[in-house]
Amino acid sequence: GSEGTSGFYVRGGGPDQNLILLDGVNIYHASHLLGFFSVFNDDAIKNIKITKGGFPARYGGRLSSILEIDMKDGNMKDWQAEGGIGIISGKITIQGPIKKDTTSIIMSARRTWLDLLRKPIVAALENKIDFDGNGNYYFYDFNLKINHILSDYDRVYFSFYTGKDSFFGSIKNEDNESNLEDSDGLLYNQTLNTNTSFGLIWQNITAAIRWNHIINSKIFTNTTITYSRYNFDNRIATNSEIINDYANQDQEIILGESDYLYRSGIEDIGIKIDGDYNLNTKHNIKFGLSYIKHNFFP
pLDDT in tens, 219-256: 999 999 999 999 999 999 999 988 888 877 788 888 88
Percent of the chain with pLDDT over 70: 91
How much is the pLDDT for 118?
67
**Most confident residue range from 78-82, 109-113, 136-140:** 78-82
* pLDDT reported for residue 39: 81
Poorest-confidence range of 28-42, 112-126, 158-172, 273-287? 112-126
Give residue 122's pLDDT: 61
pLDDT at 206 over 80: yes
Does the pLDDT value for residue 4 go beyond 80?
Answer: no
125 — phi, psi (to 5°)?
Answer: -85, 5
Instruction: Give mean pLDDT, residues 42-60.
Output: 87
φ and ψ at 34, to 5 degrees? 55, 35
Q: Pick the most confident of 28-42, 99-113, 186-200.
A: 99-113
Mean pLDDT calculated for residue range 81-107: 92
- Mean pLDDT across 278-291: 92
Q: What's residue 288's pLDDT?
A: 94
Res 43 pLDDT > 80:
yes
Q: What pLDDT is recorded for position 189?
A: 86
With 50 as the cut, is the pLDDT of residue 134 above it?
no
Q: What pLDDT sits at residue 8? A: 82
Which residues make beta-bridge pairs with 199? 168, 235
Q: pLDDT category, 132, cuts 50, 70, 90? A: very low
pTM recorded for the entire structure: 0.81
Predicted local confidence at residue 181, as pLDDT: 79
Mean pLDDT of 10-29: 87
- Give the Cα separation of 272 and 265 in Å (integer): 23
Q: Which helix (H) or strand (E) holds 36?
A: none
- What is the pLDDT of the chain when averaged over all its residues? 87
Average pLDDT over residues 279-291: 92
Higher pLDDT, 20 or 15: 20
